[in-house]
């Protein structure tokens, strides 16, 4: 996994602060994922007001034809109560953070929002049969590492 150094950008008006990955392109981030996919399990939102909590979350993903499918999730909060955090379950939605999904969320003026995405990782190798993988067959057929020793005998005289 690649290492990225985050930087903070503060605009002169002091209203917007953006934490960004300076001089790291989106393609670099996608390539650093390798074959690992991050499957969204839940989203935890903390906000400063109930109207901010009621802002819809838009999920847009590209399919194999390049078409965009969209889905808006409206958090359900009682406007008469002071509920400023919410955990939304996404286990059945099938959202994968793989570069084909983007999230649209509107932040109201003078608000601070913490947006936490829970995920589980999935690798393509998890779907291979345990004993019939290419690596095991290759190593057995061509005798790789037959003479491997994790300790090298050294004679000192």
Domain boundaries in the chain?
1-34, 37-142
CA distance 44 to 49: 15
How many other CB atoms are found less than 10 A from the CB of residue 40? 21
Mean pLDDT by 10 residues, the chain (157 residues): 50 53 64 77 89 89 81 82 87 81 84 86 72 65 68 61
CATH 1.10.3470 holds for 37-142: no
């Amino acid at each position: 996994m690649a290492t990225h150094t985050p930087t903070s950008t503060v605009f002169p008006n002091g209203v917007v602060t953006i934490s960004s990955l300076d001089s790291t392109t989106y393609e670099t981030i996608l390539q650093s994922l390798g074959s690992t996919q991050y499957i969204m399990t839940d989203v935890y939102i903390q906000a400063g007001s109930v109207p901010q909590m009621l802002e819809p979350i838009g999920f847009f993903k590209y399919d194999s034809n390049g078409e965009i499918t969209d889905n808006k999730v409206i958090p359900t909060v009682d406007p008469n109560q002071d509920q400023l955090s919410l955990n939304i379950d996404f286990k059945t939605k099938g959202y994968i953070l793989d570069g084909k999904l983007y999230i649209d969320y509107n932040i109201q003026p003078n608000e601070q929002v913490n947006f936490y995405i829970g995920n589980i990782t999935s690798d393509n190798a998890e779907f291979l049969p345990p004993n019939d993988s290419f690596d095991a067959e290759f190593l057995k057929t061509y005798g790789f590492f037959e003479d491997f020793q994790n300790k090298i005998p050294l004679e000192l005289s």
